[in-house]
Amino acid sequence: MRPRSTRALWAAFALAVGGVVSWAAQPIPVQFEGQMVLRARPQTAGHQLAVARIAQEVWNCRVGPGPIDIQVTPEGRAALDGLGVPYDVLVKDVPALLEAEQAQIVEARLQRDASFFTTYRTLAEIDAKLDALAAAAPTLASTFTIGNSFQARPIRGIRISAPDLAGNPRSARPAVLFNGTQHAREWISPATNMYIADSLVEGYGVDPRITTVLQTTEIIVIPVVNPDGYAFTWQSPGGNRLWRKNRRANAGGTIGVDLNRNWSFGWGGLGASTTPSSDTYRGPSPFSEPESAAMRDFISGEPRIRATIDFHSYSQLILSPWGNIPDLPPEAVLFDDLNAQLVASIASVNGLVYRAGPTYETIYPASGGALDWSYGARGLLGLSIELRDLGENGFILPADQIVPTGQENLAAALTLAEFVTPSLLYTLPDGVPEVVDTQIGATFRVSAVPGSRTRAANPVLHARVGLSGPFTPVAMSPQAGAVFAAALPAVACNGVIEYYVETPLFGGGVARFPEGAALFSSRGVGILAGYADNMESNSGWTVGAPGDAAIRGLWERAVPQATAAQPGADASDPGTQCWITGAAAGSSLGDNDVDGGSTTLTGPVFSALPALPTNVRETRLSYARWFSDNQGAAPNEDILTVSLSNDGGATWIPIEAVGEDAGVWVRRAFVIEDILSPTAAMRLRFVATDRQSGSIVEAGVDDVAVEVIGCEPTLDFDGDGDAGTDADIEAYFAVLGGAPCPTGTCASLDFDTDGDAGTDADIQAFFLAIGGG
């Protein structure tokens, strides 16, 4: 049954809450006069630091490479002009924008029948609205308190789920948590959370999608995690509309901790400050703040929670783990799938496209955040959404954007709730291995994240070699996160492995992957030929080429000495030698780096062909490389170019232009056929270039390898692992007649290995082999 409308109840509550009627516009703080918001684009590390010093506030909390949104005085803008730092004007007049916002709030309060979402609401109004929702639908919604803030304000929330159904009690349903306002000035965050809660209550029994979601999931909404800070942004007089942190009194007289840098997972890393006056101050210890600690305790005490969204503003982003490190999480494939669904659901409402990806690379490094803790410490699908806009108004988003922002994020909320309702959320971190090496085998990995059910035991791989016969269970070993791994069984070249995964569930039953009777399949292949060089001796590499102009830091084969820009060891284990640009550390960082131009390292000729005509599937090239250019007075300006030749070095095709500073040995792999045709005259070339005076450039190369992957012609023509049978003869002639090739490559018709497939000579060779010849 549809609950009673909350409008009448809301009106009654509104009249009873003093803050609703008596609130008055706060004076614009004097320190905002004449200020504007600029999007600066510093080009050097020195300019990045200068921009941070010039800023009155850094709106996007980013100091480092990339655009920085800063609030500045007229003098600050002039200083940027003097430095030559390019910028765009986002907000011409901060006080004018604040005055317009306050005027809209006052005007909206004069409208007696105005909707809750016609304007931004105080903390008291939000609490009243929560009570109104619960009163309007007592069988659907109930309020709760998770704890108190630093200044003893309650942190309140609401649970929303359909009444118990036969075989489907509320207490057994998976839960999804939406929370907001860890950062006080992000007013669109509590408005969006409240829009989601209101729409769910109003839509139950009316909207089929909302009804289904509430019958299968419990939705939990905590709209204001930081009630002290949020109240301070409304306080008149003495408040600050652009306040970010909580209201902790720090030693030294400063106020506030950034709650979204105070969670324990990754606490104290990049993107968080140790300075109490900073907007990103992480606090004296993890969970030092009552607000973040209350959220931790609440989530830890709710085992049915499967996913969280922490709403923020601004930038129109969907953020996933990790924020504290650049690595991808174990369930990266799962997050990619979920992120894509959320992007599509948001875009389907108003056509607005949010950008999605891991926090670290999508917006900036941020350690000690809620989403990393939710995923890393609790195993939940931890997400954050940065709401409207792209910076045109930033935190001072006009009130006419509340409803469209709420609409598109309601769609995202429903999509997330639907995403967690399957019993388990399976993904393949590495995909399905198309081929399995006959000598070293292959590891199959699967991620099994709890959806509506919880694992009773680890997943089990069920596999068989061939296309018939029983499946053998293989235990899967747990790895990081919810990832499990098992070795696929050994298989001969062109043989087939079929397999699936089952996971026992609490309460009985199993979750199968893939569903139904579908199977995963991989085919055996071998290494037909290869080339490897670990640089422990010189196998024919040469240094120098026409046009090289570097005066220092030339390539040499040596044991590298560690500096801030250069590794202290090679990439091989065991091993010590590699090719490096100036191995000696010297007395200063720039003594032996590449200076004055390019230095070229060219490898010897190698063959990427098998010894005999065979069924080559692909030819793989791999190597380890080091590159550093983020040190010195002109960082991030230089390049390492990697090229490949198939004509002995007469012509070259670039395969990499490396400009990033990884600070580690990076291993890269390519399929040669994707770049050019393999020949017996392949060469590899590395060119390290110093393009900017004052930069520090170091490069290294190690562990070059080539593998020719495939199978020699085989009598197991139907690929079932049993060679020379009647079924193989039938399969062979079926392919001769035009049927699909069962082994996946019709090169297997070339049984006399003369390069011409399907001839009379091949048929004779095939029967000769079957007869034992």
DSSP class per residue in 105-139: HHHHHT-TT--GGGS---HHHHHHHHHHHHHH-TT
Whether pLDDT at 140 is above 50: yes
Q: Can you give the pLDDT at residue 279?
A: 93
Q: Is 394 exposed, middle or buried (0-12, 13-18, 19+ CB in 10 A)?
A: buried
DSSP class per residue in 304-365: TEEEEEEEEESS-EEEES-SSSSSPPTTHHHHHHHHHHHHHHHHHHHS---EEEEHHHHT--
Confidence of residue 309 (pLDDT cuts 50, 70, 90): very high
* CA–CA distance, 488 with 433 (Å, rounded to integer): 10
Q: Can you give the pLDDT at residue 745?
A: 47
Question: In which residue ranges of the chain is CATH 2.60.120.200 found?
Answer: 534-711
* CA–CA distance, 624 with 619 (Å, rounded to integer): 17
Out of 451-455, 528-532, 732-736, give the one with best mean pLDDT. 451-455
Q: Can you give the pLDDT at residue 27?
A: 61
How many CB atoms lie under 10 A from the CB of residue 591?
A: 14
* DSSP 8-state class, residue 591: S
Whether pLDDT at 567 is above 50: yes
431, 443 in Cβ contact below 8 A? Answer: no
Per CATH, domain 35-92 is 3.30.70? yes
Range 517-535 burial, b when 16+ CB lie within 10 A, else e: eeebebbbbbebbbbebbb
302, 288 in Cβ contact below 8 A? Answer: no
Least trusted range by pLDDT, from 293-307, 434-448, 609-623: 609-623
- Name, in order, each residue with C-beta under 8 angstroms of 19's C-beta and a sequence gap of 6 or more: 122, 123, 124, 125
The torsion angles phi and psi of 713, rounded to 5 degrees, stand at -50, 140
Q: Can you give the pLDDT at residue 721?
A: 65
Q: Can you give the pLDDT at residue 46?
A: 78
* CA–CA distance, 685 with 644 (Å, rounded to integer): 6
Average pLDDT, the chain: 90
Whether pLDDT at 2 is above 50: no
309, 416 in Cβ contact below 8 A? Answer: yes
557, 568 in Cβ contact below 8 A? Answer: no
Whether pLDDT at 80 is above 50: yes
Whether pLDDT at 24 is above 70: no
Q: Can you give the pLDDT at residue 389?
A: 95
Extended strands (E) in 406-459: 424-427, 435-437, 443-450
Element (H, E) at 695: strand 695-711
* CA–CA distance, 682 with 689 (Å, rounded to integer): 23
Fold for the domain defined by 426-524: Immunoglobulin-like (2.60.40)
Average pLDDT of 6-13? 50
* CA–CA distance, 542 with 556 (Å, rounded to integer): 9
Q: Can you give the pLDDT at residue 625?
A: 96
| Tokens 């969970």, residue located | 287
Whether pLDDT at 650 is above 80: yes
Average pLDDT of 56-65? 72
Whether pLDDT at 441 is above 50: yes
Average pLDDT of 736-755? 65
Q: Can you give the pLDDT at residue 22?
A: 45
Q: Can you give the pLDDT at residue 5?
A: 56
* CA–CA distance, 391 with 246 (Å, rounded to integer): 23
Instruction: Please report, for residues 631, 636, 666, 761, the alpha-carbon distance to residue 589 in angstroms, rounded to integers and kept in the order given.
Output: 9, 16, 22, 67
Question: In which residue ranges of the chain is CATH 3.40.630.10 found?
Answer: 6-20+114-244+289-323+333-419
581, 700 in Cβ contact below 8 A? Answer: yes
Confidence of residue 29 (pLDDT cuts 50, 70, 90): low
Position with higher pLDDT, 1 vs 376 = 376
Least trusted range by pLDDT, from 67-81, 229-243, 716-730, 733-747: 733-747
Q: Can you give the pLDDT at residue 613?
A: 56
666, 625 in Cβ contact below 8 A? Answer: yes
201, 249 in Cβ contact below 8 A? Answer: no
Confidence of residue 12 (pLDDT cuts 50, 70, 90): very low
Average pLDDT of 138-166? 97
125: closest CA among 27, 224, 218? 224
719, 743 in Cβ contact below 8 A? Answer: yes
Q: Can you give the pLDDT at residue 16?
A: 42
Whether pLDDT at 344 is above 70: yes
389 preceded by cis ω (within 30°)? yes
**3-state SS, residue 658:** strand
Position with higher pLDDT, 688 vs 754 = 688
Confidence of residue 237 (pLDDT cuts 50, 70, 90): confident
- Name, in order, each residue with C-beta under 8 angstroms of 515's C-beta and a sequence gap of 6 or more: none
Per CATH, domain 534-711 is 2.60.120.200? yes
Helices and strands counted in the chain (H then E): 16, 32
Average pLDDT of 667-694? 92
76: closest CA among 55, 62, 60? 55
Confidence of residue 537 (pLDDT cuts 50, 70, 90): very high
How many CB atoms lie under 10 A from the CB of residue 737?
A: 7
**3-state SS, residue 483:** strand
| Exposure on the CB side of residue 693, measured as CA atoms within 13 A | 0
Least trusted range by pLDDT, from 211-215, 438-442, 556-560, 610-614: 610-614
Q: Is the dihedral of CA 261, 263, 268, 271 positive or negative?
A: negative
Q: Can you give the pLDDT at residue 205?
A: 96
Position with higher pLDDT, 412 vs 454 = 412
Least trusted range by pLDDT, from 133-137, 164-168, 731-735, 746-750: 746-750
Q: Can you give the pLDDT at residue 335?
A: 95
Catalytic positions are: 386
Tell me how far apart the 2 most distant CA atoms of the chain are, in Å.
100
| Tokens 């709403």, residue located | 311
Confidence of residue 17 (pLDDT cuts 50, 70, 90): very low
Range 336-365 burial, b when 16+ CB lie within 10 A, else e: bebbebbbebbeebeeeebebebbbebbbb
Extended strands (E) in 171-247: 175-180, 218-222
Whether pLDDT at 601 is above 60: yes
This prediction has a pTM of: 0.73
Confidence of residue 167 (pLDDT cuts 50, 70, 90): confident
Average pLDDT of 662-691? 92
Would strands 683-689 and 598-602 be described as parallel, antiparallel, or unpaired? antiparallel
Element (H, E) at 228: helix 227-234
Q: Can you give the pLDDT at residue 528?
A: 80
| Tokens 């090679």, residue located | 570
The tens digit of pLDDT for each residue in 546-561 reads 999 999 999 999 999 9
Share of the chain above pLDDT 90, in %: 70
* DSSP 8-state class, residue 396: S
CATH class (in words) of the domain with range 6-20+114-244+289-323+333-419: alpha beta
The tens digit of pLDDT for each residue in 462-483 reads 999 988 899 999 999 999 878 9
Task: Give the pair of three-digit tokens for residue 587.
Answer: 């007395």
Confidence of residue 531 (pLDDT cuts 50, 70, 90): confident
Confidence of residue 13 (pLDDT cuts 50, 70, 90): very low
Q: Can you give the pLDDT at residue 57?
A: 85
Average pLDDT of 633-653? 91
Whether pLDDT at 719 is above 70: no
Q: Can you give the pLDDT at residue 535?
A: 97
Confidence of residue 1 (pLDDT cuts 50, 70, 90): very low
Q: Can you give the pLDDT at residue 259?
A: 98
Position with higher pLDDT, 764 vs 318 = 318
* CA–CA distance, 711 with 746 (Å, rounded to integer): 12
Q: Can you give the pLDDT at residue 26?
A: 61
